[in-house]
Every structure is written in structure tokens, then in C-alpha cells.
């Protein structure tokens, strides 16, 4: 099975900060990497797909990069509504779509 490891597990930041979250796959997954945002009590929301493509309706301050085993999600200027938990997910192995353990982004 492909394992996904996110870092950090939690992060404190201020409104206006630039934030980067990292996701590492246990083997190469090409660009089959998606990012989701989840707020308390809500279903996850797709932000980035295929490593770097912005889902329709998602603000342009979100961006993704990487390929192979190392990926990043960047928020260029944090807004109050961005404080949430972020998950990466690989879709390379179509019989097992594993998630990272999540990164909780909190207000400093």
C-alpha cells in the first residue's frame, strides 16, 4: 500500500501569512495527488487536483506543486476562513485511495 505522510501535523499562523504544507508518498505517484480542506462538522472539500490544478471556485491564493513523491500545498496569504484541516490524498493506486494524516491550521 502507498503511505502518505503530511508535515507538519499542526501549524499556527496569522492572517496574511504564507503557509506551506508538505505531503510525501512512500513511492512515486506521478501527479496523482489531491488536496482537501475540511472544517469542523463539515465534509471535506476538494481544493487541488492532479497536484497543481485548482478546483473550480477555489480562491487563487491556494496552489499546489510537486510530482513523484514530494508535494506541497501553499496558501499565499491566509484568510480567516482558511483555518481548517488539510488532507492530501493519492489516486495513483486506483484500488486504494489513501489519505495523509492531516494538517490542522490554527490561528496564532
Partner 1 sequence: QVQLVQSGAEVKKPGASVKVSCKASGYTFTSYYMHWVRQAPGQGLEWMGIINPSGGSTSYAQKFQGRVTMTRDTSTSTVYMELSSLRSEDTAVYYCAREFQQQLDYWGQGTLVTVSS
Q: How far is the CB of 16 from partner 1 (least distance, A)?
A: 28
Q: How far is the CB of 79 from partner 1 (least distance, A)?
A: 22
Task: Tell me whether residue 16 or residue 43 sits nearer to partner 1 (CB atom).
Answer: 43
Three cell numbers at 59? 480562491
The C-alpha torsion from 42 through 12 and 34 to 36, rounded to 10°, is 10
Q: Which among 85, 86, 99 is positioned nearest to 29, based on CA atoms? A: 99
Task: Tell me whether residue 4 or residue 75 sits nearer to partner 1 (CB atom).
Answer: 4
For partner 1, the binding residues (CB under 8 A) are: 1, 32, 34, 36, 38, 43-46, 49-50, 55, 87, 89, 91, 94-102
Residue 47 three-state SS: strand
Amino acid at each position: 500500500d502507498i503511505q502518505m505522510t503530511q508535515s507538519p501535523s499542526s501549524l499556527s499562523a496569522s492572517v496574511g501569512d504564507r503557509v506551506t504544507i508538505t505531503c510525501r508518498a512512500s513511492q512515486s505517484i506521478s501527479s496523482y495527488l489531491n488536496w482537501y480542506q475540511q472544517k469542523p462538522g463539515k465534509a471535506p472539500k476538494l481544493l487541488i487536483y492532479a497536484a497543481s490544478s485548482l478546483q473550480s471556485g477555489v480562491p487563487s491564493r491556494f496552489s499546489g506543486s510537486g510530482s513523484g513523491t514530494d508535494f506541497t500545498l501553499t496558501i499565499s496569504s491566509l484568510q480567516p476562513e482558511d483555518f481548517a484541516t488539510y488532507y492530501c490524498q493519492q489516486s495513483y493506486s486506483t484500488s486504494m485511495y489513501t489519505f495523509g494524516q492531516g494538517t490542522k491550521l490554527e490561528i496564532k
